[in-house]
Structure 1
Amino acid sequence: MTDHATTLAGTFPYTPHFTDSPGFRMHYVDEGPADGEVLLCLHGEPTWGYLFRDLIKTLRGTWRVVVPDHMGFGKSETPQGRSYWLQDHIDNLERLVLSLDLTGITLVMHDFGGPVGMGLAARHPDRIRRVISANGPTPFGQATLPQRVMANAAESPWFRWIAKAEADGSLETVLGQLGFNILSTLKLNGFEHNAIISDAWLAAYAAPFATPADCLGAIGWAKGFATGAHRFETPDAAAERAIRGKPALAIWGEADRTLGAEHFLPLFTEIFPAAPVKRLAGVGHYCLEDAPAAVAGLVSAFMRQT
């Protein structure tokens, strides 16, 4: 867990907020007008709310930007003795949203924030106003999901490593040292803008994983895929109809080597066939690091247009 008071050399100058509603100390950023429309930004593996730092800065003047850290990531607690599967993260997010009574939510989802956010949408479609995928899968009960996940896993360096490491017993050992190998892990997943690497940037992404006990979130997400422990939320018919009618936007860095556009963008277009898809050439998996201004501009324009 990152020191809750740190601003990481001024790169993350946002007031920390905490809730115990999910049964552990969960951190979230809550910036912008309290009565503004809510953007709920959901990170993935092995990042945290720091990923959205530029988006928060750009959008908080107009909208309320809420950015939680999932259990075991960022400034949130990493409780021992709990499981870290997809369904656990959906449960935690649901409790946060209900405790804050967030409504009219625009989901902004990256990486595994996609299935977490879509799980929330399946349970509470009435609380969702818009859906934005930023290199984040949008599983929503599609029959093609298992085949797409397997096809992507066969090509992705990250998912191939997960399968190999689980098979040879090294997954927990390697990811248990994530504070020391964070750069290689991030690069394996893929970003293109190497100029962003600095001591402060490395410290921001390494700090949550100082000890093996701090790495349970990162281990759990990878191990869940390797063992099939994750459970995707399936919407009922009413929730599916409701979400299909929401405004939606996909932003996808085309150089993503972890989540192939050919495998996961069809999940988005199956739900939102008329929604715009903005492809960013030369931008990798971490589109919010490679092209923060472009992503913020697209999100802002979409909010204003819808």
Structure 2
Amino acid sequence: MNGETLHRRIDVGGVDIFYREAGPPDAPVLLLPHGYPCSSFEFRNLLPRLGDRWRLLAPDYPGMGYSDTPEHFDYSFDGYAQLLDGFVRALGVERFVLYLHDFGSPIGARVAIMQPERILAQIIQNGDIPYEDALGDKYAEIEKSWSLPEREMRAEIGKAISEDVFREEFLNDVRPDLVPRIPPDLWKLHWSLITPRRREIAIDLIGGLKANRSWFGAHRRYLREHHPPTLIVWGPQDFYMPEKSARAYLRDLPAAELHMLDGGHWLLETNLDEVVPLIRDFLDRTLC
């Protein structure tokens, strides 16, 4: 059925990957790389809402969600991008729209840079931005750890790998009246999937934000040179990515369509009924 969500597994380079899928197999593809500390679970409500017209693919990264946690894997933004590239190739997908949210933004953007001609369009929703001067105040707490010796930095980051902090990450900076819209399943489920090995992987990824800064220029250059059709939907109640973060994209994508909604970092939980028609309209106009 077109709107039905299917739950599948696929081998990608020797790694067992879990993914969610909806939509006709011959429809235009919307690729959904997830954020942190989440998984493809974040797209569970979006898939059936768009699966009548488009094929949606939402994989779990290695070491997250229901995918395998191989001992030998490059648990970095580069490593995840290579995995995501292998995922679309394994499924025979040649062109696709990218949905960029949270950590899925630097991962998905790396895939776009590999072969820009594959990207039909992009939807950016509170994605980790490539503009240092437009980051939210909360990023300063992460940056403080970067001056520490490696061992101390990892210990400091490790303090943030807890159920209480996961809850804080999902509630983020939304107004009290929006909090009841965010289900505790988000932090309860994803905390239950943490193992000692996965905790170290999370530390690697968060610590990798420092090295990721050197990649910002390449990301901005890609946007400037290839100007993919872009829809920006943003929840400004976000202590990592406030309103100024969304507007920063307009420096390199002046033709992008920007919608500022009354929500926060996890718009698909709080503002799904607003996001869906914006995406449908954008895809109808862009892919016709």
Q: TM > 0.5 between the two?
A: yes
Number of corresponding residues = 275
Match of 1:3 in 2: none
The Cα offsets for residues 206-244 of structure 1, whole Å up to 9 and x where unpaired, read as 2322x2222344222211124x2676383798x767731
The Cα offsets for residues 93-129 of structure 1, whole Å up to 9 and x where unpaired, read as 1111111121331111101111111111111112111
Rounded Cα–Cα distance in structure 2 between residues aligned with 1:291 and 1:229 = 30
Equivalent AA in structure 2 for residue 136 of structure 1: G
- Please say which of residues 116-125 and 16-25 is displaced more in the overlay: 16-25
SS of corresponding position for 2:255 = coil
Q: Are residue 278 (structure 1) and residue 259 (structure 2) matched? A: yes
Q: Higher relative contact order at CA 8 Å, sep ≥6: structure 1 or structure 2?
A: 1
The Cα offsets for residues 146-166 of structure 1, whole Å up to 9 and x where unpaired, read as x43xx62xx432x33334456
Equivalent AA in structure 1 for residue 215 of structure 2: F
Q: Are residue 214 (structure 1) and residue 205 (structure 2) matched? A: no
Mapping of residues 167-206 of structure 1, within 5 Å: 167=148, 168-169=152-153, 170-176=155-161, 178-179=162-163, 181-187=165-171, 189-192=172-175, 193-198=178-183, 200-206=185-191
Match of 2:281 in 1: 301
Q: Structure 1-normalised TM-score?
A: 0.79
SS of corresponding position for 1:110 = strand
Q: Are residue 232 (structure 1) and residue 215 (structure 2) matched? A: yes
Q: CA RMSD in A?
A: 2.8
- Please say which of residues 228-237 and 106-115 is displaced more in the overlay: 228-237
Match of 2:60 in 1: 69
Rounded Cα–Cα distance in structure 1 between residues aligned with 2:165 and 2:129 = 29
Residue 44 to residue 63, structure 1, CA distance change in 2 (3 Å): same
The Cα offsets for residues 19-44 of structure 1, whole Å up to 9 and x where unpaired, read as 22244222211211000110111211
Mapping of residues 68-147 of structure 1, within 5 Å: 68-137=59-128, 139=130, 145=131, 147=132
SS of corresponding position for 1:73 = coil
Residue 172 to residue 82, structure 1, CA distance change in 2 (3 Å): farther
Residue 190 to residue 83, structure 1, CA distance change in 2 (3 Å): farther
Structure 1: gaps (5+ residues):
1-12, 140-144
Question: 23, 30, 34: which is aligned to 1:32?
Answer: 23
CA shift for structure 1 position 294? 1.1
SS of corresponding position for 2:6 = coil
Match of 1:19 in 2: 10
Rounded Cα–Cα distance in structure 2 between residues aligned with 1:131 and 1:220 = 27
Rounded Cα–Cα distance in structure 1 between residues aligned with 2:239 and 2:254 = 24
SS of corresponding position for 1:20 = strand
The Cα offsets for residues 52-72 of structure 1, whole Å up to 9 and x where unpaired, read as 111112001211010111222
Equivalent AA in structure 2 for residue 301 of structure 1: D
Q: Quick one: percent identity of the two aligned structures?
A: 26
Residue 277 to residue 72, structure 1, CA distance change in 2 (3 Å): same
CA shift for structure 1 position 179? 4.7
Question: Contact 2:237/2:265 (CA < 8 Å) preserved in 1?
Answer: yes
Rounded Cα–Cα distance in structure 2 between residues aligned with 1:220 and 1:62 = 38
Match of 2:231 in 1: 249
Equivalent AA in structure 1 for residue 62 of structure 2: M
Rounded Cα–Cα distance in structure 1 between residues aligned with 2:238 and 2:223 = 28
Residue 56 to residue 121, structure 1, CA distance change in 2 (3 Å): same
Poorly superposed stretches of 4+, deviation over 4 Å: 239-242
Equivalent AA in structure 2 for residue 98 of structure 1: R
